[in-house]
Amino acid sequence: MKKVLILLGPPGAGKGTVGNALADEWELPLISSGDILRENLKKKTEIGNKAKQYIESGELVPDEIVIEMIEQELKKTIYINGFILDGFPRTVNQAKMLDRIVDNSTDLKVIYLKADDDFLVNRLSNRRICEKCGKIYHLINIPPIKEGICDICGGKLMQRVDDREDVVRRRLTVYKEQTAPLIEYYRNQGILSIINGEGNLRDTLSEIKKFTKW
């Protein structure tokens, strides 16, 4: 069976952190729509230029841009045996696009990482990202060995532009309005598990594996 895991949850709930850990363990590729968009932004591609204003203000990038981008990505042969999705789908339209490519040979599971707004604002203020390889750190919970430097590649650690408190609050509102309806969407299909996103990483991963049985 082809394994497809969707990581759903508000900004800062740990989708990227959990997704990277599971991708390593299960040897499945991870698709992060946010990372692909930021890469396009850095390279100043057409997608990047179109997405910039939305990302920096905490709004969702329009469906037509993101759906086309993910459709193109999924054509790559590395995804043939399955994949983990971080940050996609984020609207009902995006979920419907995914429905079209999921068939009976796919074991589709959805994890909703749940966490409170104030917890998330606080957590994101301590997030740092390697500007070279994208590895995610937390200054208190998951700090680098050497301050400001990535353990993996030696790159410089930076703060994301959308991790400013006012932008994080806007992202949380957008999440509630446009993404949270997907919880019901997948709960109705019987493939969703709600997992505490505020716990430590080891417990979160173990809860997820109990649910997926992968």
Catalytic residues: 15, 90, 127, 160, 171
33 sits near ligand AP5 (criterion: CB under 6 A): yes
What does the alpha-carbon distance between residue 201 and residue 182 come to, in Å, rounded to a whole number? 24
Binds ligand AP5 by CB under 6 A, chosen from 17, 98, 109, 182? 17
Sign of torsion over alpha carbons 200, 125, 122, 13: negative
What does the alpha-carbon distance between residue 169 and residue 118 come to, in Å, rounded to a whole number? 9
109 sits near ligand AP5 (criterion: CB under 6 A): no
Q: In this chain, which stretch among 72-80, 87-95, 99-107, 186-194 interacts with ligand AP5, using CB under 6 A?
A: 87-95
Give, as ranges, the residues between 169 and 188 that touch ligand AP5 (CB under 6 A): 171
Q: At its nearest, how many Å lie between ligand AP5 and the CB of residue 147?
A: 15
In the three-class reduction of DSSP (H, G, I as helix; E, B as strand; rest coil), residue 87 is classed as coil
111 sits near ligand AP5 (criterion: CB under 6 A): no
72 sits near ligand AP5 (criterion: CB under 6 A): no
Q: Which long-range contacts (CB under 8 A, 24 or more apart) does 67-72 make?
A: 67/93, 67/94, 67/97, 69/33, 69/36, 69/37, 69/40, 70/31, 70/33, 70/94, 70/97, 71/97
Chain residues that interact with ligand AP5, rule: CB under 6 A: 9, 11-17, 33-34, 37, 54-55, 58-61, 66, 87-88, 90, 94, 123, 127, 136-138, 141-142, 162, 171, 200-201, 204
